[in-house]
Structure 1
Amino acid sequence: MSILNLKKTDTAQNLLTSEPGKFNEGELRSEEMIINLGPQHPSTHGVLRLEVLSDGEVIKEVVPHIGYLHRCFEKHAENLPYNQIIPFVDRMDYVASMNSEHAYVLGVERMLGITEQIPKRIEYTRVLMAELNRIASHFIAIGTYGMDIGAFTPFFWVMRDREHILRLLEWASGSRLLYNYMWVGGLFYDIPVGFEDRCKEFVTYLKPKLKELDSILIDNKIFIQRTANIGVLPRDMAINYGITGPMLRGSGLRFDLRRVDAYSVYPEIDFDIPIGEGKMGTLGDCWDRTWVRMQEVYQSVRIIEQCLEKLTKEHKRTKEFDPQALVPKKIRPQAQDLYVRAENPKGELGFFFRTDGRSDVPFRCKARGPSFVNLSVLPEITRGVLIADLIAIVGSLDVVMGEVDR
C-alpha cells in the first residue's frame, strides 16, 4: 500500500499550523487519506488497483480501477473465424478455461442448429472436464483467500491437489491451463485410454482431503472471526447488481444455470445447489461465499463420478467414435442475434453473437464476464469497514482480471 495523497481538510490544515500540543485526539482521527491498494499488492489477485479513501483505519469509499491487462477478446473475436476464437476464450478466465470453452461452443452450436446432434459421449466428456476445472478454480479461490487472511497451509494443500487436476486436463488436451479442447461440434480428441481410471483414483484420493481442508480452514475459529459478518451482500442488492455464481448463492438465492437453463447433460445428473445460510454470521457474508464454494467442490465430485459411470458403462469408447465427426469445416451461421450463457465457477458467463449470414467471422461477439459484474458491487459492501476487512472482502469476490479487462 502506498499513500497517494493526504487530503488537506480544514482539520488537517489546522493540525499543520497549530502549536505543538494544542490539538486534540479527535482532530487527528478526522484526517482522510487516499491510499492505493495494488496493482502490485498480492491480495488484489492480479492487476486490480483499488483507490481507497480512508479515515484512519476506516474506509469511506473504494473505487476499483481496471484496464491493465487488455486481453482485447471482443476485437480479436470480430476478426477471426469462429473456430479460431476458442484459444482467446481460454485466456479470459485462465483458471477455468474448460468452463469458458463450454459456454462458447454451446453458443456457436446453437446458432448452427446442431445442439441435439452432439453425441452423448462428447457431452459427458465436456461436463467431466468442466467440473474438474471448476474444482481447480475453486481451489485457487479458497487457497489464495486463506492466504490473504493469514492461513498458509491450506494454500499449499489446494495447490498440491489442483496440480493433479491440471495434469489430467493436460493429458487430455495436450496443453496446460489454456486447453483449446472443446471444439464446435465435438472435441479436439477423445479422452486418452486409462483416463477414466486415473480420474477415479483422483476422486478417491480427494474426498478425505476435502474434509481436512474443511476442518483446518472453513471451520477454523480464526477464519470464522475474520470472515463472518464481514462484506455482507444482501440478496436484493446482489440481484440488482446482476451478481451471479457463488456470490449470489452465498446471499441465499438458489440460482444455478446448470439447473435453470438445463444445458448439455446436466438435467441427467444428480447434484445439489448449495446456498448461504448465515451459519456463522449474517447471511451473505464472506464466510458464506467461501462455504458455498467449498460445498460446490463436493457437488462437482458427485458430478464427476456420475460422468465417469456414464462414460465407462453406457457411452463407452469405440473404434468408430470420432470426436470431430460433426466439426464443420466452415462455420457460417444464418443471420441472427443470439445470447447464450453457462455457469462458470465465478458465475454467469455469456456470449452475445450477431451474424450477417455471409461471413465465417462474427459481426459482433460480446462477452459477459462474471468477474467484471461481481466486482461492481465492491464499493457498496466496503463502506465503513476496516482496511484489514477490505482484504477479506476482495478475496471473497474471486475475480480474475483477464475476464474483467477482456
Structure 2
Amino acid sequence: MNTASTKKDIEFRDTASSAASAADELSDVQGEKMVLNMGPSHPATHGVLRLRLEMDGEIITKAEPDVGYLHRGDEKIAENMTYNQFIPYTDRLDYLAPLANNVHYVLAVEKLLGVEEKIPERCQYIRTICCELARVSAHLLGLGAFAMDTGAFTVFLHTFTEREKIYYLIEALTGARFTTSYTRVGGLARDLPEGWLDELSKFLDEVEVNFEETERLLTRNPIFLERTQDVGVISREEAIDFGLSGPNLRGSGVEHDVRKA
C-alpha cells in the first residue's frame, strides 16, 4: 500500500481587492429602506444596548443608541454605606473585570483620604496583577465573541479556554469567579495563597504560545479577513472630528495612547 504523503499549496484570495470591487459594483444600488430595532438584548451585542438602525438594504446609514439599561443608581446606594461596605457593588459595574473595578474604587477612596502613599508595596503589586488579569480576561471575551460573530468559531473556543484558566486563578485568589470583592481601603482582603504565583507563571508561559496559535487561526481565515478588512473604514480626519480614542483612533492612523502620553 502506498502511504506516501503529498503536499498541496493553498492559495488565499486577495480579500481586500475583492471586497473593494464588490463595494464599487454595489455603490449605485439602492436597497429597500427600513428601520431596524437592535437590542436591548441581541446576540451580536453581548451586552445591554439598544440601537435604532436605519438601513439601506444591508448598509447601515444611521444609528441612534439608546443607553441606560444598566443604570442601577450605584452612587445613590453608596451614600448610605461605609467605603468598604460598597466594595461588593463595584463587582457589578463591569462583570467582565470585577477585580479592576475593586482596585480602581479603593484607589479613588485612598486618594480622597490622602493615604495612597501609605499603601504597602506588595499590595500595590498584587493590585496591578489583578488589574492585568481582569484586562486580559475581558479582551479574551471580546476577541472570542467578535471572532464567533464573523465566522471564526474555533477562535472563540480557544479564547474561552484561556479565559477559564484566568478564572481558575481569580477563584483561587479571591474565592469567587465574578463577585470578587477582593480589595479593601488601605489593602486587600487577604494575601496571595501558597503556590499561586507558580500557577500564574505557568499560565503566562502557556498563554503566549496559545495566543500565537489563535492569531494564526484569525489571520489565515479568509472568511474572517473578508468580513473585517477594508470594512467600516474611518479616516484619520473623521476619527479626530468625532473624538475617537483607543484602538479606534490608532486604527485610523493616529498614533496616540494616553497610557504613554
1:61 aligns with 2:59: no
How many angstroms does 1:159 deviate by? 0.8
SS at match of 1:35: strand
1:139 aligns with 2:147: no
1:253 aligns with 2:255: yes
How many angstroms does 1:92 deviate by? 1.3
C-alpha distance in structure 2 between counterparts of 1:236 and 1:29, whole Å: 28
Check whether the contact 1:235–1:253 (CA below 8 A) recurs between aligned residues.
no
How many angstroms does 1:245 deviate by? 3.6
How many angstroms does 1:217 deviate by? 1.2
> Which letter does structure 1 place at the counterpart of 2:135?
R
Deviations 1:362-391 (A, max 9, x none): xxxxxxxxxxxxxxxxxxxxxxxxxxxxxx
How many angstroms does 1:237 deviate by? 4.7
1:196 aligns with 2:233: no
Check whether the contact 1:47–1:68 (CA below 8 A) recurs between aligned residues.
yes
C-alpha distance in structure 2 between counterparts of 1:187 and 1:31, whole Å: 58
C-alpha distance in structure 1 between counterparts of 2:79 and 2:111, whole Å: 19
C-alpha distance in structure 2 between counterparts of 1:183 and 1:238, whole Å: 39
How many angstroms does 1:60 deviate by? 1.8
Q: TM-score, normalised by structure 1?
A: 0.53
Check whether the contact 2:150–2:223 (CA below 8 A) recurs between aligned residues.
no
C-alpha distance in structure 2 between counterparts of 1:67 and 1:61, whole Å: 20
Structure 1 stretch displaced more, 182-191 or 98-107? 98-107
244 and 30 in structure 1: CA distance in 2 versus 1, 3 angstrom threshold: closer
Tell me the residue number matched to 1:43. 44
Sequence identity (%): 43
Residues 98-113 of structure 1 mapped to structure 2, 5 A cutoff? 98-113=99-114
Check whether the contact 1:71–1:92 (CA below 8 A) recurs between aligned residues.
no
SS at match of 1:44: coil
Structure 1 stretch displaced more, 158-167 or 244-253? 244-253
C-alpha distance in structure 2 between counterparts of 1:57 and 1:224, whole Å: 19
Tell me the residue number matched to 2:17. none
SS at match of 2:44: helix
Q: Which of structures 1 and 2 has the larger relative contact order (alpha carbons within 8 angstroms, sep 6+)?
A: 1
SS at match of 1:84: helix
CA RMSD of aligned residues (A): 2.1
C-alpha distance in structure 2 between counterparts of 1:115 and 1:236, whole Å: 40
| Gap regions ≥5 residues in structure 1 | 1-27, 261-406
C-alpha distance in structure 1 between counterparts of 2:181 and 2:134, whole Å: 13
C-alpha distance in structure 1 between counterparts of 2:113 and 2:251, whole Å: 36
Tell me the residue number matched to 2:176. 175
Check whether the contact 2:31–2:58 (CA below 8 A) recurs between aligned residues.
no
Number of residue equivalences? 232
Check whether the contact 1:106–1:115 (CA below 8 A) recurs between aligned residues.
yes
> Which letter does structure 1 place at the counterpart of 2:224?
F
C-alpha distance in structure 2 between counterparts of 1:183 and 1:233, whole Å: 43
